[in-house]
Amino acid sequence: MAVFAYTGVNDKGRTVRGTIDADSEKSVRQLLRKQGVYVEETRALAGDGKKAASAAAAAASSAAAKSKIGGARALAALGAVSSTPTIEAIVSAIKKAASSAQRHVAVATRQLATLLKAGIPLPEALSAVTEQIDHKELQAAFELVGTKVREGISFAKALEEHPNFFEPLFINMVAAGEASGNLEGVLARLAEFIEAQVKLKGKITGAMAYPAFMAMFGSLIIGVLMVVVVPKVSAIFSDFQKTLPWYTELLIAVSGFLGRWWWLLMLLAMVGLGFFIRWKRTPEGAYRWDEIVLRLPMFGELAKLVAVTRFTRTLATLLASGVQLVKAMEIVKNVLGNRVLEAVVTDATVSIKEGESISEPLKRSGRFPKLVVQMIAIGERSGDLEGMLVAVSDNYDGIIDARVTLLTSMLEPMMIAAMGGTAAAVAFSILMPLMQLNEFVQ
Using one digit for the tens of pLDDT, what is the confidence trace for 349-365? 998 888 888 888 888 88
Q: What is the pLDDT of residue 278?
A: 93
* Contact (CB, 8 A) for 307 and 356: no
User: Could you give the CA distance from residue 79 to residue 73 in angstroms, rounded to a whole number?
Assistant: 10
What would the mean pLDDT of 162-179 be, rounded to a whole number? 84
Q: Of 190-199, 229-238, 353-362, where does mean pLDDT reach its minimum? A: 229-238
Q: What percent of the chain has pLDDT over 70?
A: 82
* CATH number of the domain to which 286 belongs: 1.20.81.30
Q: What are phi and psi of 203, to 5 degrees?
A: -60, -50
Quick one: 357 and 422 in the same domain? yes
User: Could you give the CA distance from residue 236 to residue 322 in angstroms, rounded to a whole number?
Assistant: 77
- Please give the mean pLDDT across all residues of the chain: 78
Quick one: 296 and 369 in the same domain? yes
Q: How does pLDDT run across 291-345, given as a tens digit for each residue?
A: 999 998 878 888 888 888 888 888 888 888 788 888 888 888 877 888 999 899 9
Q: What percent of the chain has pLDDT over 90?
A: 8
How would residue 45 be classed by pLDDT, with cut points 50, 70 and 90?
Answer: low
How would residue 40 be classed by pLDDT, with cut points 50, 70 and 90?
Answer: low
Taking the whole predicted model, whether its pTM rises above 0.75 is answered as: no
Q: Is residue 175 part of a domain?
A: no
In three-state secondary structure terms, 39 is strand
Quick one: 391 and 256 in the same domain? yes
User: Could you give the CA distance from residue 179 to residue 244 in angstroms, rounded to a whole number?
Assistant: 81
Q: Which residue has the higher pLDDT, 421 or 408?
A: 421
User: Could you give the CA distance from residue 111 to residue 53 in angstroms, rounded to a whole number?
Assistant: 11
Q: What is the pLDDT of residue 9?
A: 63
Q: Is residue 173 part of a domain?
A: no
Quick one: 248 and 392 in the same domain? yes
What would the mean pLDDT of 58-72 be, rounded to a whole number? 41
Across 178-193, b (16+ Cβ under 10 Å) vs e yields: beeebbbbbbbbbbbb
* Contact (CB, 8 A) for 68 and 103: no
Q: What is the pLDDT of residue 38?
A: 64
What would the mean pLDDT of 167-180 be, rounded to a whole number? 82
Does pLDDT of 30 surpass 80? no
Q: Cite the DSSP H helix spans in 333-384.
A: 339-353, 359-365, 370-382
Q: Is residue 26 part of a domain?
A: no
Q: Is residue 221 part of a domain?
A: yes
How would residue 100 be classed by pLDDT, with cut points 50, 70 and 90?
Answer: low
What would the mean pLDDT of 262-280 be, rounded to a whole number? 92
Does pLDDT of 230 surpass 70? yes
DSSP element (H, E) containing 228: none
How would residue 270 be classed by pLDDT, with cut points 50, 70 and 90?
Answer: very high
Quick one: 146 and 270 in the same domain? no
* Contact (CB, 8 A) for 321 and 192: no
Q: Is residue 32 part of a domain?
A: no
Q: Is residue 192 part of a domain?
A: no
What would the mean pLDDT of 129-153 be, rounded to a whole number? 88
Quick one: 160 and 293 in the same domain? no
Quick one: 250 and 114 in the same domain? no
Q: Which residue has the higher pLDDT, 37 or 250?
A: 250
How would residue 178 be classed by pLDDT, with cut points 50, 70 and 90?
Answer: confident
Containing domain of residue 413, as a range?
A: 207-442
User: Could you give the CA distance from residue 197 to residue 191 in angstroms, rounded to a whole number?
Assistant: 10
Q: Concatenated DSSP letters for 251-309?
A: HHHHHHHHHHHHHHHHHHHHHHHHHHHHHHHSHHHHHHHHHHHHHSTTHHHHHHHHHHH
Quick one: 107 and 242 in the same domain? no
Domain boundary (110, 134, 166) is at 166
Angle at CA of residue 326, ends 322 and 327, nearest 5°: 60
* Contact (CB, 8 A) for 5 and 45: yes
Give residues with Cβ within 8 angstroms of 226, minimum separation 6. Answer: 254, 255, 258, 259, 426
Quick one: 212 and 347 in the same domain? yes
Q: What is the pLDDT of residue 93?
A: 44
Domain boundary (116, 151, 166) is at 166
Q: How many helices (H) and strands (E) does the chain have?
A: 20, 3
How would residue 439 be classed by pLDDT, with cut points 50, 70 and 90?
Answer: low
Q: Is residue 38 part of a domain?
A: no
Number of C-alpha atoms within 13 angstroms, CB side, residue 394? 9
What radius of gyration, in Å, describes the C-alpha atoms of the chain? 29
Quick one: 220 and 298 in the same domain? yes
Does pLDDT of 154 surpass 50? yes
Q: Is residue 46 part of a domain?
A: no
* Contact (CB, 8 A) for 380 and 363: no
How would residue 267 be classed by pLDDT, with cut points 50, 70 and 90?
Answer: very high
Q: Of 13-17, 151-155, 233-237, where does mean pLDDT reach its minimum? A: 13-17
What would the mean pLDDT of 408-422 be, rounded to a whole number? 81
Q: Which amino acid is at 70?
A: G
Q: What is the pLDDT of residue 76?
A: 37
Quick one: 230 and 342 in the same domain? yes
Instruction: Give the residue among 67, 156, 72, 159 at the shortest CA–CA distance from 111.
Output: 67
How would residue 276 be classed by pLDDT, with cut points 50, 70 and 90?
Answer: very high
Quick one: 60 and 133 in the same domain? yes
**How many folded domains does the chain comprise?**
2
Q: Of 67-71, 92-96, 116-120, 369-373, where does mean pLDDT reach its minimum? A: 67-71
How would residue 401 be classed by pLDDT, with cut points 50, 70 and 90?
Answer: confident
